[in-house]
Structure 1
Amino acid sequence: MKAIAYRTYGGPEVLEYVDLPDPRVGPDSVLIRVKAAAVNPVDWKAQAGYLDSALQAVFPVVPGWDVSGVVEQVGASVAEFAPGDEVIAYVREDFLSRGTYAELVAAPIRTVARKPRNLSFAEAAGLPLAGLTAYQALLKSLEVRGGETVLVHAAAGGVGSMAVQIARAVGARVIGTASERNHEYLRSLGAEPVAYGDGLVGRVRASAPEGVDAVLDLVGGDALKASPELLAPGGRLASIADGSVLAMGGAYVFVRPDPQDLEALTELVERGELKVELAATFPLEQAAEAQRLNAAGHTRGKIALLVG
């Protein structure tokens, strides 16, 4: 199969477009013929070696955890899917090796769910990691409910925009921090935008004088430091970006593969309550350019590699 791989840690320059053996399909896995793979910041951070203390790299490493495609083969114990099924997956394992920037990926069944019928493959590839992160942080960690007010820091980003939509879908009011250029976008998602920077506490308090019920921090730093001041009595705080949230009495959230949560995201998409914005697409062989664009941090929406 054709794939993108790296043989040593580094930046986009270490990526190679190579031929690799087709992956073997274990009893608890499905073989997916990849249609699209999303590019996420964790891809190039892992590639740079930042996750080396947690995830062993088995070189050559194929990057990528997000994928959409068609089931080509199922393992001996798999009854949930059959060849020809259209699926999405968050194919994260406890090591780095067989990622999704490839024509084929063997995905453990615990990472796979059906693809939303109303999304293209490129759009669907952008759903798993960002969607699961937002879903698990909001509904499992913060336990956000209808009628509550939620503050989302960096609400216009990939995870943030999905968090806004998921919170709105359960009936919560959402205040979202973002740069001025993204305020109209947040309004289109149903959030009330506030600007970053000095005076943030006052601006949020002007919108929620009694404080907010929950804060979801996606950036860390000053935004997180200001968050405890913005909570109503009994309010909850969670961050995906900064472990110092634990010292504030909040929760640190690290996303995990979960097929039931993926199915819930698919259902939200099919009901029209969650959409995936696509910023750009690249052919597989231009993965390095896609990573550079992602690392620049100026895009709104997901970046996808088109395969096949």
Structure 2
Amino acid sequence: MKAIVYSQTGGPEVLRLTERPVPEPGPGEVRVQVKVSGVNPTDWKSRQGATTGGKMPFPEIVPNQDGAGIVDAVGPGVTGLEPGQRVWLWESAWQRPDGTAQEYVALPADHVVPLPGEASFDLGATLGVPALTAHRALTVAEGGPARLAPGALDGRAVLVAGGAGAVGHAAIELARWAGAEVVTTVSSDEKAALAQAAGAQHIVNYRAENAAEAIRKIFPDGVDVVVEVAPAVNAKLNEAVLASNGTVAVYANNGGEEMTVTIRSHMTVNARYQFLLLYTVPKAAKAQAIEDVNAAVAAGALRVGEEAGMPLHRFPLERTADAHAAVESGVVGKVLIDVG
């Protein structure tokens, strides 16, 4: 089978196309014929060695955590999955050498999730890192909710920083599905249009207006949850708009690794900063997130494509290096690799 691999950390140029034997699923594993592989920032950062101190955790690695395809075979002890099922994949390459940038991948069964209804492989390949991260960000506030469903966020005000990004897009859609009122910050008219298509009721261009004043005008009592991609850059904004007992859920470090916060103002409103990395989120919380995300997919609440506010950029498997470079350069939209 065809696969993309790298045997040293570095830029996109370390990725190469090779031939590998089709893997056999072991006990508790499922072999999936990959149709579409999704590329996330975590994939190029892992390839660069940013998460491992520049070291290779395995001699050879197939990149990419997310994907979608068809169950091809199941190993001993697997129940609930069978050949021919359409599925989506998550955390394929976390502490494992085999990601989704290959024609077949064998994974633990709990990392293989049936795709609801007629949901596309394109949608399936975008659910892992973005949707599960967004779910966690929306469910860490004190007093909950711990689960998302219609009505779960009724009466809540949610600020999504960077609503045109993949996690931001999923956060807007999941928050709206759960009943929240959503404001998002963007940096251009193009991104504003995408956030609006995703379902955000309020959009603030932080380069064209005073974001804190604009958000306080929309929500005089402040926002209850901030889904934050750039905490170092947005610390003062979050301080200015956070409601009493509000939560800032930080899932990335765009704009800087260190941040400064004012102690007294956050004490006064009993604010909470919750940092999160999907890979180390408690297992039970991830299992709940998968159920809720699948329910949102079945309800048509999670979508991809230009009309949904998430443009797709496609690459063939042999151009995986270009796909990684596109994500690394900050392309607006979701990068997908056509594998099958």
TM-score (norm 1): 0.92
Report which stretch shifted further, 28-37 or 267-276. 267-276
Q: Does 1:161 align with 2:172?
A: no
Matched, 1:288 2:321: yes
Contact 1:224 1:245 in 2 (8 A): yes
| TM-fit CA distance, 1:187 | 2.2
Q: Secondary structure at the match of 1:193?
A: strand
Give the Å deviation of 1:253: 1.1
Contact 2:71 2:81 in 1 (8 A): yes
| CA–CA separation in structure 2 for the residues paired with 1:132 and 1:204 | 26
Identify if the C-alpha distance between structure 1 residues 83 and 155 changes in structure 2 by more than 3 Å, giving closer, same or farther: same
8 Å contact kept, 1:228–1:237: no
Change (3 A) 1:190 1:237: same
Contact 1:34 1:103 in 2 (8 A): yes
- Give per-residue Cα distances to partners, 1:207-247, cap 9 Å, x unaligned: 11211111110222221342122111111221001486897
- The question of 1:14 aligning with 2:14 is answered yes
**Normalised by the size of structure 2, how large is the TM-score?**
0.84
- Which deviates more from structure 2 when the two are superposed, residues 127-136 or residues 240-249? 240-249
State the distance in 1 between where 2:55 and 2:27 align: 23
Q: CA deviation at 1:188?
A: 2.5
Q: How far off is 1:13 after superposition? A: 0.5
- Match of 2:290? 262
- Alignment gaps of 5+ in structure 1: none
Corresponding position of 1:135: 135
Q: Output the amino acid matched with 2:204.
A: V
Aligned to 2:95: 95
Q: Aligned partners of 1:298 and 1:60: how far apart in 2?
A: 27
Identical amino acids, percent of aligned pairs: 33
Q: Which residue does 2:218 correspond to in 1?
A: 207
Task: Provide closer, same or farther for how the CA distance between residues 10 and 93 of structure 1 changes in structure 2, counting only shifts above 3 A.
Answer: closer
1:186 is matched with which residue: 195, 214, 235? 195
3-state SS of 1:58 partner = coil
Q: Distance in 2 between matches of 1:56 and 1:80?
A: 35
State yes or no: 1:232 paired with 2:243.
yes
- Structure 2 distance, partners of 1:244, 1:108, is 36
CA distance in 2, matches of 1:268, 1:245: 34
Query: What are the Cα deviations for residues 107-144 of structure 1, in whole angstroms up to 9, with x where unaligned?
Result: 11221211133332123211221111101211245635
Amino acid of the residue matched to residue 179 of structure 2? G
Q: Distance in 2 between matches of 1:2 and 1:79?
A: 28
Letter in 1 for 2:250: S
Match of 1:73 in 2: 73
Q: SS where residue 95 of structure 1 aligns? A: coil
Secondary structure (helix, strand or coil) at the match of 2:58 reads strand
Distance, in Å, in 2 between the alignment partners of 1:244 and 1:286 is 35
Letter of the 2:182 partner, please give it.
Answer: V
Query: How far off its partner does 1:269 sit?
Result: 1.8
Cα distance in 2 for partners of 1:260, 1:298 equals: 31
Residue 175 (structure 2) pairs with residue 147 (structure 1): no
Worse-matched range after superposition: 191-200 or 124-133:
191-200
Indicate the RMSD between aligned Cα atoms, in angstroms: 2.3
Structure 2 spans left out of the alignment, 5+ residues: 146-152, 267-271, 306-310
* Equivalent in the alignment of 2:112: 112
> Retained in 1: the 8 A contact 2:65–2:94?
no
2:182 match: 174
The 2-side partners of 1:177 and 1:34 are apart by 35
